[in-house]
Structure 1
Amino acid sequence: MSYTAFREPDAGPTPRPGLLGRLARGKRGMAAGVAVVVIVVAAAVVYLADAAAEPEPSDAGNALEYAPPPAGQTESFGALPSGSAAAGPSASATPSAAAPPKVPAGGWILVDQAAWKAQVDAYKAVAIDPVPAGVGNLPEFRADCQYSHSLPDDPIVAPGLPGASHMHSFVGNKAVAAHTVAEDLTKFTATTCKPAQDRSAYWVPTLYDNATGKPVETTGFRVYYRSLMNSSTGQMPMPNGLRMIVGDAKKKQPTPRGATGQFYCAFYGPGDLDGVARSTNGNWPICGGNATLHFMMQFPDCWDGKHLDSPNHKDHVAFGAGNACPPSHPVKIPAITFDIQYGAKGTPEGYYLSSDKEGKSASSMHGDAFVMWDVDTMNKRTKNCVLQRRTCDNYGYQK
């Protein structure tokens, strides 16, 4: 499949030349028979939680008094053992009710260097699998996820504070709430993602139908782990427990036809990614034919090698340039890309995000990733697919 159009990123770090072309050529529709038009959303913008009132959550947590964690706290995420992938959706999805709630760390979170060294040593020892004939040369692997639950929580931006955020729609790990820490993602492994070895949590602000006030949840949520560079030299796997955000929840700018950072229509063949018409306020496309609303956002591909998170959730990661990472962030990691599909075609009344109920634009769209994979699977996929620059799907080489 090929794309009929793509749009340059919004203000922010600029991807290297050729990135959008590779994204377009390598993109596969998240629903069968849909060729997706690529929009890459600008990354590395500070996200601050918005406590605006929203409809009742599907699984609200209990409010607790918040105690700030010690500065420079080190987090041990507990590496997943080899062969642990079998404990997928059948595992417990929620922590025990008798367990006292934890207060997750915030600010600068130091990586457990011993655990990271063990992962790096194991990665270097991984043998590359033979490549079957016909495998493509797009350096990526992926997880396909479905909607899990909604909560006004954000364990990255507002850790330990149930109800402190605007409403979020979560995919992936089913146990995620305000008090979630990395160890929870290793212990409570029920997930809506395939493969089950991806125990990560991913979330975005909830989309609402402006006419009814009812949520419009994602009907497909593909997470790519890929190289954004023309060379994979020095490629490393993703460290478990890494937290990142992209987008700006406080951005309140209109998103008329032709604007960057807007929702778009995915379609077969000739068509208009901006829709055949627009909502009355001009901020939302109305899709023609079989097209539905989509959104895409891209995360950085370089890590400082020291911190799993930072106070603004961006300073510990960065975008590379010239096929290399900057000295401040020397570790080349797979770049996460969210490709999100909604079961909606657009209406004259349009929509609004939980992060901008008043302005009703799409400019506050943002995404969070709390990474947790079976270590052996992450190492193998990174080496086979990203380092070797071969196209993989959810389960390995794409044949």
Structure 2
Amino acid sequence: MQLRNIVLLAAAASVEAAATLRFSCSQLVVERLDPLVNPGENPSPHLHQVVGGNAFNVSMDAKVHDLPTTATCTSCTPTEDFSNYWTAVLFFKAKNGTLHRVNTFGNELGFTGANGGQTVYYLTSGKATAFKPGFRMTVGDPSIRTAEELNRRYKYMDFTCLASSMTRGGQTTYFPRQPCAAGIMVSIRFPTCWDGVNVDSPDHQSHVAYPNGNACPSTHPVVIPQVFYETYWDTRPFNNKADWPADGSQPFVWSFGDQTGYGIHGDYVFGWKGDALQRALDANCNSDLFANKINCPTLAVQTLDQANKCVKPKTVTENLDGWLSQLPGGMPIN
């Protein structure tokens, strides 16, 4: 579906210019911090994998924590992007009940050299307004456990069981129920309409909305680029069905305790330097689909090796490796 969306956007460009930015963000840190939903809590309730600028911290108050001036590096290839992008972490639950963290790996469509992390997209089908300083949002809800509620409240978040790196199609809103030869790709897409006033809201979602058809609702009239993440989870070491639950159920669980997959969610804090993102959108910049190349003279880009070097020391000290008796933070599985 991801490549299909890009093709559709590219086709729309023949009528109205479109930006199709696609780039790699290597792993910055994996730890229990969430400055958006749980600001100031050290540690936060559940584990996250984070990419972007190294200013990510336990608290990121927009009024005092300016990412472009606070960060000293970014794990994303555009060097002016100090935003932070994060999701929950995937775990494998073995037949004996022990848990093992699943690593991310570089998108094999162009970013095999990335040290994990995720692929980030900014897509438009025409003129769009870049996010303002301090902008932040979330999408999804970790408490959701049914397909009905997920489909009613959110759009375009799914899992792809990869038979190969080229697999597209067959997406589900629940965890794949069979071994996936090339891993699991998780896609998270954010809304594309903004109220034009608030850079945040109490629930971190009400200031943005999905369009009605092709138009933004009157309450959220400003078109913003679609941000979405593709995260490749390396489930290949866990494909032996003999290690799966005896009842035949799928063995994966999110770090917040969700065994269904319906609680899928993502967090975003804008941190592009100056007008860099608006320049890229206005120039209708695009990216090669199968290479680490952004066709955008207005943006400076670093190599994957350089992006890999931007890491953040962990703030929370706890064991995340090997076989664990419970999820980090003792999150219950339900």
Give the TM bin, normalised by the shorter chain.
Answer: 0.5 to 0.7
**Two-structure CA RMSD over aligned residues (Å):** 3.4
1:225 Cα deviation after fit: 0.7
What's 2:104 paired with? 218
Residue identity opposite 2:136 in structure 1: R
Q: 1:282, 1:195 → 2: CA distance?
A: 32
Alignment of 1:1-399 (within 5 A): 6=1, 21-23=4-6, 139-182=19-62, 183-186=65-68, 187-211=70-94, 213-220=99-106, 221-227=118-124, 229=125, 232-233=126-127, 235-253=128-146, 262-266=158-162, 267=164, 273=170, 284-288=177-181, 291-345=182-236, 346-347=238-239, 348=241, 349=244, 350-356=251-257, 359-385=258-284, 391-392=286-287, 396-397=294-295
1:198 Cα deviation after fit: 0.7
Percent identity, aligned pairs only, is 29
1:392 Cα deviation after fit: 3.3
Q: 1:142, 1:269 → 2: CA distance?
A: 16
Q: 1:214, 1:236 → 2: CA distance?
A: 41
Q: 1:353 to 1:265 in 2, by over 3 A?
A: same
Q: 2:168, 2:286 → 1: CA distance?
A: 28
Residue identity opposite 1:196 in structure 2: T
Question: For the pair shown, which has the larger CA radius of gyration, 1 or 2?
Answer: 1
Structure number with greater CO (CA < 8 Å, separation at least 6) is 2
Q: 2:40, 2:195 → 1: CA distance?
A: 25
1:205 Cα deviation after fit: 0.7
Cα contact 2:253–2:259 (8 A) shared by 1: yes
Give ranges in structure 1 of 5+ residues lacking alignment.
Answer: 1-5, 7-18, 28-136, 276-280
1:380 Cα deviation after fit: 1.3
Q: 1:273 to 1:196 in 2, by over 3 A?
A: same
Any idea what SS the aligned residue of 1:179 has?
Answer: coil
1:284 Cα deviation after fit: 3.8
Q: 1:295, 1:321 → 2: CA distance?
A: 25
Any idea what SS the aligned residue of 2:262 has?
Answer: coil
Q: TM-score when scaled to structure 1?
A: 0.56
1:165 Cα deviation after fit: 2.4
Any idea what SS the aligned residue of 2:283 has?
Answer: helix
Q: 1:313 to 1:20 in 2, by over 3 A?
A: farther
Give ranges in structure 2 of 5+ residues lacking alignment.
Answer: 11-16, 107-117, 149-155, 245-250, 298-334
Any idea what SS the aligned residue of 1:214 has?
Answer: strand
Cα contact 1:241–1:370 (8 A) shared by 2: yes
Q: TM-score when scaled to structure 2?
A: 0.66
What's 2:305 paired with? none
Q: 1:254 to 1:314 in 2, by over 3 A?
A: closer
Q: 2:226, 2:165 → 1: CA distance?
A: 27
Q: 1:327, 1:272 → 2: CA distance?
A: 33
Cα contact 1:254–1:361 (8 A) shared by 2: no
Q: 1:398 to 1:379 in 2, by over 3 A?
A: closer
Any idea what SS the aligned residue of 1:153 has?
Answer: coil
Q: 1:155, 1:176 → 2: CA distance?
A: 8
TM-superposition CA deviations, 1:201-237 (whole Å, max 9, x none):
111111112125222132231111112x4xx24x222
Q: 1:161, 1:273 → 2: CA distance?
A: 38
Cα contact 2:158–2:187 (8 A) shared by 1: no
1:318 Cα deviation after fit: 1.0
Q: 1:272 to 1:329 in 2, by over 3 A?
A: closer
Any idea what SS the aligned residue of 1:191 has?
Answer: coil
